[in-house]
Amino acid sequence: MTTRAAPEPPKPQSPDRPDKIRCDACPVMCYIAEGRVGACDRYANEGGRIIRCDPLTILDRRITKGEAVKPFLAADWDGREASGDDVFVSAIGAGTTYPDYKPAPFIVSRDIAGVDCVTVVTEAIFSYCGVKVKIDTDRHLGPEAAPVRADGEVVGHVMTAEYGSQMLSLGGVDHLTGGSKAEGRKTCDTLLRLCNRGPVDLTIDGGSSVVVQAGAAPIVDGTPEERMRVGCGSAAIGMFATQWQGLVDEVVVVDDHITGVVSEHQAGKVIDWPDTGIRIKGHRSTPGRYFKVAKPGQGWGGTDIEDPLSILGPWRPEKGARPGLSVLMVSTTGEHSAYFVLNDALEPEPHPMPEALRLSVDLIARNCEPALCTVLFMGGAGGSLRSGVTRDPIGLTRSVHAERTRVTVGGAPVYVWPGGGITVMVDVTQVPEGAFGSVPTPALVAPLEFTVPRAEYEALGGHGGSIRDLADILEAGGDYGSAARVIGGRE
């Protein structure tokens, strides 16, 4: 049975301006005059009623992604007949559960594969949130833990690099609330742009500038990055040793982390690659694998070198070096490559690259993936917003961790961190565009949905009296208005 939500009490009026009414969707509590919007541009006073400026977004998986948005009450949308598997009321445009004692803006009954379920939606305000950014490049962006700035304000820091990618951690409560007002505002603005898939200019202390945009190639010091490396230097040796055999006497794959040498590497040994008497300047880890051949930088393989010969020491004739010995030096993306032949003094001299070797360099480049920026929004949903879902907040946390309650952000699947609280991460490219907002506290606003079997919801002390069905929501809207749109998408 559908139960309508209790009508909202009248909004308080401003003591100074009776034409202004108060928005209580966040702690800022703006007084908004008729026809005006609040400080976040997300709520307005329309005819003496606080409304949400953006429409409620309903995802219909029967609509191909990218198909034109359908207006809420369009007669040709058969949402009323759709099943709960097809149609999903997202939290985008739903409004916010604030103060937290009241039920979430929409608590929707759904039939999912024959199971009576409930989806609770709210636009959650996150003071504790940030983004993790993965930037596919082997170029050195800056030292680990270096501050990352946007328009001069520190908004995060460099994290430990991952395989073929540089990582940034941006935002977090310390930057949002623990620094100056300017730092908090700039941090919030940076997070908002990144989460809504916009480009952001960042600079790293002691390093580079980089333009980051989710799903797009990074632009490092003004140059768009093209390729993510095929692997480290050692991995490249392992992948391509057999293809180089017979074409060249030695191969060095230059890499900031692990530089590989085929004649010494196990991948060369198992195919009886002869010794060459090469000597690499760097820390030898294991045979054919060298660390620290140069400093990190923008040159070959993420090092600072422009001349690859600078990492070679004198060649050793007693170990196989001889005039005429050929050497291929290549970076892990194939972006840099050079061919040398030892002269009578056992000094490498540059020579034109033989065609067969050129093809092997092209093969490295072809095996690289396109360089992209990945932005994961990360926030803690384990706080007071749980009261909008259930009267027993700890029960919701346990239900989420037991996978009886599913969490989504704008319909996109999330990763829920183990341990305490409901700390989630989501790929922002999976969330409909423009889904994130902000308030001036400063904090980010993100759509959040909890889907749970109705029996479990009732056992959790859920707000059963506020459960409504889709038809009722389409008909009457919610506390913050009745505008809505339908887009293609999935839960």
Q: Is 23 in the site for ligand SF4 (CB under 6 A)?
A: yes
> Closer to ligand SF4 at the Cβ: 328 or 443?
443
CB of 196 to ligand SF4, least distance (A): 17
Tokens encoding 249: 């006497």
CB of 23 to ligand SF4, least distance (A): 3
Q: How many CA atoms lie within 13 A of 3 on its CB side?
A: 8
Dihedral, CA of residue 149, residue 226, residue 254 and residue 276, to nearest 10? 180
CA 334 to chain centre: 27
Between vectors from CA 267 to CA 264 and to CA 270, what angle results, nearest 5°? 95
Selected binder of ligand SF4 within 5, 25, 192, 452 (CB under 6 A):
25
| Contact region with ligand SF4 (CB under 6 A), list: 36-44, 79-87, 243-251, 451-459 | 36-44
> Closer to ligand SF4 at the Cβ: 383 or 440?
440
Question: Phi and psi of 393, rounded to 5°?
Answer: -55, -40
Query: Taking the alpha carbons of 43, 482, 413, 371 in that order, is the dihedral positive or negative?
Result: negative
Tokens encoding 329: 């030096």
| Contact region with ligand SF4 (CB under 6 A), list: 25-33, 243-251, 316-324, 459-467 | 25-33
CB of 207 to ligand SF4, least distance (A): 36
Under rule CB under 6 A, how many of the chain's residues touch ligand SF4? 13
Tokens encoding 289: 């694998």
Dihedral, CA of residue 324, residue 330, residue 336 and residue 340, to nearest 10? -10
> Closer to ligand SF4 at the Cβ: 39 or 211?
39
Selected binder of ligand SF4 within 39, 159, 216, 247 (CB under 6 A):
39
Q: Is 99 in the site for ligand SF4 (CB under 6 A)?
A: no
Q: Is 91 in the site for ligand SF4 (CB under 6 A)?
A: no
CB of 29 to ligand SF4, least distance (A): 5
- Give the 3-state secondary structure of 76-119: CCCCCCCCCCCEEECCCCCCCCCCCCCCCCEEEEEEECCEEEEE
> Closer to ligand SF4 at the Cβ: 176 or 474?
176
Which run of H or of E encompasses 396? helix 393-401
> Closer to ligand SF4 at the Cβ: 12 or 317?
12
CB of 25 to ligand SF4, least distance (A): 4
Selected binder of ligand SF4 within 30, 371, 378, 396 (CB under 6 A):
30
CB of 33 to ligand SF4, least distance (A): 12
> Closer to ligand SF4 at the Cβ: 39 or 247?
39
Tokens encoding 84: 């709960």
> Closer to ligand SF4 at the Cβ: 43 or 339?
43
> Closer to ligand SF4 at the Cβ: 192 or 486?
192
Question: Phi and psi of 439, rounded to 5°?
Answer: -125, 160
Site for ligand SF4 in 254-313 (CB under 6 A): none
> Closer to ligand SF4 at the Cβ: 30 or 158?
30
308 close to 252: Cβ distance less than 8 angstroms = yes
CB of 24 to ligand SF4, least distance (A): 7
> Closer to ligand SF4 at the Cβ: 38 or 103?
38
Distance between CA atoms of 171 and 165, rounded to whole angstroms? 20
227 close to 371: Cβ distance less than 8 angstroms = yes
Q: Is 40 in the site for ligand SF4 (CB under 6 A)?
A: yes
Question: Phi and psi of 340, rounded to 5°?
Answer: -130, 155
| Contact region with ligand SF4 (CB under 6 A), list: 19-27, 176-184, 303-311, 471-479 | 19-27
| Contact region with ligand SF4 (CB under 6 A), list: 33-41, 206-214, 226-234, 478-486 | 33-41
348 close to 340: Cβ distance less than 8 angstroms = yes
Q: Is 124 in the site for ligand SF4 (CB under 6 A)?
A: no
Site for ligand SF4 in 156-215 (CB under 6 A): none
CB of 10 to ligand SF4, least distance (A): 16
CB of 188 to ligand SF4, least distance (A): 12
Buried b (16+ CB within 10 A) or exposed e, 181-206: eebbebbbbbbbbbbbbeebebbbee
CB of 361 to ligand SF4, least distance (A): 55
CA 19 to chain centre: 43
CB neighbours (10 Å) of residue 402? 9
Dihedral, CA of residue 90, residue 91, residue 92 and residue 95, to nearest 10? 150
Distance between CA atoms of 80 and 475, rounded to whole angstroms? 10
Residue with tokens 């006497």: 249
> Closer to ligand SF4 at the Cβ: 53 or 167?
53
> Closer to ligand SF4 at the Cβ: 191 or 467?
191
Q: Given the DSSP bridges, would you call strands 129-135 and 200-204 parallel, antiparallel or unpaired?
A: unpaired
Site for ligand SF4 in 431-490 (CB under 6 A): 439-440
Site for ligand SF4 in 42-71 (CB under 6 A): 42-43
Selected binder of ligand SF4 within 38, 172, 184, 231 (CB under 6 A):
38
Q: Is 28 in the site for ligand SF4 (CB under 6 A)?
A: yes
Contacting residues toward ligand SF4, per CB under 6 A: 23, 25-26, 28-30, 38-40, 42-43, 439-440
